[in-house]
Structure 1
Amino acid sequence: MTSVTSSPSSSSSSVFVGLLLAAGKGSRFDPSGADNKLLAPLSDTDDCVVVAAARKLLAASPALAVVAIVNSLQGEVALRLSAMGCQVVECSDAAEGMSASLMCGIRHTKDAAGWIIALGDMPHVQTSTHGGLLAALKDDVDIAVPVYLGKRGNPVAFSRKHLDDLLQLSGDRGARALLKSSPVNEIPVNDPGIHRDIDTRADLAASGGTD
């Protein structure tokens, strides 16, 4: 796997990074925190939720460096993702919201040419969607989002032009503000998975999961 590790003295590279955000608490799935939704098995594959999401991202291109952001309590998630070939980064302030996890990943890979921001609880996004976003970045698109049936979804891609903006995010809304304030290139896809995340046990059951 191609890797990107930032350093104060290094210059920007031509490497693109897939950031897999997997540091959330998943409190809607299990308020007690006992069951991690990312480790819930999917009955239509041999994978759990986060492994399925990572597998699709890893398959997009051998040249795409995949970096997973986890929190300090997700030892099993970290082990599984590392075994697949993902770089794993622990976010110390993940409890502050998705923006904290995203900024952690951007800081860790700040010399990348661009990023595909993927979510660890979206296992049904197709590899071709990741590939389309990567192609857009390589064509010098600054922001790209997939669109299915006229509705935008995830993941979202950003060129390094937006590095400073991404490092100044706050709250639990990720990069949504950037999508509202900047020109966005919409990529039509035949992929309902861009709208399907696993927030609750009902979502898991509807996605072919087991409870």
Structure 2
Amino acid sequence: MAGGAVGTLEPVTSHPTRTRTTGLLLAAGAGRRYGQPKGTVVDADGAWVVSAARALLDGGCADVLVVTGAEAEHVEALLAADDDLTELDTVTTTRCGTWEQGMGESLRAGLTALATRGRTIPQQALLHLVDLPDVGAQVVARVLASAGAGTAALARAAYDGRPGHPVLIGRDHWEGVLGRADGDAGARGYLRTVPPLLVECGDLAGGADVDEPTCRG
């Protein structure tokens, strides 16, 4: 199933769709502190990976690429099993074979996959993490609306002034991000050098990643 179409979800909100913006959802980690890969977590609200994909689509991304790694088949099965994500083809997956080396490797795998799409290379990637279950479509839409639709865009959600996710990365910045992606740093090094526009979203979500099962609600 790696690299294949998983399905789609028609947007159910009024947020406009960015036809050249892809949601890049990182769901490859082992989640050792949590006790299981966070891409496999299912709680009372459903599977986190499905909810995150929905948030990206409903918030305005034209499609979503999910990067899997630890228990990749399980994560992909959760996406494929969701009734709302089985009819069309706007959610795809790619596997990161080096996911154990840190989030930077997952980001590298995702951006590389997008950059090699040929004529369908998006102008922007909206980077999001699977372990932010309270970050919904409204946050996604606000970040997208804050920046232009071109390749130079660089914007990041903030929560009470604290930088978080999602992060909008225009294609002009991909090479720089890839050059700094290392270990668990992800895009952090590049964003320190080229500061993004911070988009305050603290009124919409908490924005904190969930590291332990008791951390949520």
Classify the TM-score, shorter chain. Answer: 0.7 to 0.9
Q: Which residue of 2 aligns with 1:159?
A: 170
Q: Which residue of 2 aligns with 1:80?
A: 78
Counterpart mapping for 1:12-23 below 5 A: 15-23=20-28
The answer (yes or no) to whether the contact 2:139–2:157 under 8 Å persists in 1 is yes
Deviations 1:77-128 (A, max 9, x none): 1122245252011111111110110010001101320111000111110201
Q: For structure 1, which segment, 128-137 or 168-177, has the greater mean C-alpha deviation from structure 2 after superposition?
A: 128-137
Which structure shows the higher strand fraction?
Answer: 2
Deviations 1:173-200 (A, max 9, x none): 1111112111321112222332x22211
Count of aligned pairs between the two proteins: 186
Superposition misfits of 4+ residues, deviation over 6 angstroms: none
Q: Which amino acid aligns with 2:22?
A: V
Change (3 A) 1:137 1:25: farther
Q: For structure 1, which segment, 118-127 or 138-147, has the greater mean C-alpha deviation from structure 2 after superposition?
A: 138-147
Q: Which residue of 2 aligns with 1:54?
A: 53
Q: Which amino acid aligns with 1:185?
A: L
The answer (yes or no) to whether the contact 1:116–1:155 under 8 Å persists in 2 is yes
CA deviation after TM superposition for structure 1 residue 48, in Å: 2.0
Change (3 A) 1:150 1:36: closer
State how far apart, in whole Å, the 1-side matches of 2:150 and 2:122 are: 15
Q: Which residue of 2 aligns with 1:129?
A: 139
The answer (yes or no) to whether the contact 2:124–2:151 under 8 Å persists in 1 is no
Change (3 A) 1:109 1:139: closer
State how far apart, in whole Å, the 2-side matches of 1:155 and 1:167 are: 17
The answer (yes or no) to whether the contact 1:16–1:112 under 8 Å persists in 2 is yes
Scaled by the length of structure 2, the TM-score of the pair is 0.77
Secondary structure of the corresponding residue to residue 124 of structure 1: coil
Counterpart mapping for 1:66-77 below 5 A: 66-71=64-69, 73-77=71-75
State how far apart, in whole Å, the 1-side matches of 2:104 and 2:185 are: 7
Q: Which amino acid aligns with 1:96?
A: Q
Scaled by the length of structure 1, the TM-score of the pair is 0.79
The answer (yes or no) to whether the contact 1:66–1:86 under 8 Å persists in 2 is yes
* 2:101 is aligned with 1:91: no
Task: List runs of 5+ in structure 1 lacking aligned partners.
Answer: 3-13
Task: List runs of 5+ in structure 2 lacking aligned partners.
Answer: 1-7, 10-18, 116-120
Counterpart mapping for 1:61-210 below 5 A: 61=60, 64-71=62-69, 73-82=71-80, 84=85, 85-110=90-115, 111-135=121-145, 136-138=147-149, 142-168=153-179, 169-189=181-201, 190-194=203-207, 196-203=208-215, 206-207=216-217
State how far apart, in whole Å, the 2-side matches of 1:113 and 1:139 are: 6
